[in-house]
Amino acid sequence: MGMGIIKITNAKQKLNKKGSLGANKDFPKKGHFAVYVGEMQKRFVIPLSTLNHPLFRDLLHWAEEEFGFDNSEGGLKIPCNVDYFEGLVSLISSS
């Protein structure tokens, strides 16, 4: 029974080294999520704690009205320009 656990652990470590489990750059690190902003869909990875801020919630409501929550194209889209989004995230992180 113990050998099976060791083999699984070793397999996970090998996969991690190859970038197949969480180490992949396409996945945000733990405690973060990705959003796509602006016409060019610039990708931002921001802390989950940002979701608690009222200004970000307002932005999510705006995104819902603009795009809905159909995720067929992948990712959460935010319908504002990049400069506005960067300013908002900076304001939220400083508070």
CA–CA distances in Å: residue 78 to residues 20, 23, 30: 28, 26, 21
Tokens of 34: 């990705």
Mean pLDDT of 16-28: 55
Q: What are 26-69's pLDDT values in tens digits? A: 778 899 989 999 989 999 999 999 989 999 999 988 888 877 76
- 10 Å Cβ neighbour count for 54? 8
Q: Which helix (H) or strand (E) holds 93?
A: helix 82-94
DSSP 79: -
Kindly list the domain boundaries of the chain, sorted by start residue: 25-94
More confident residue, 17 or 33: 33
* pTM as predicted: 0.65
Query: For residue 10, what pLDDT is reported?
Result: 52
Residue 16 clears pLDDT 60, i.e. is over it? no
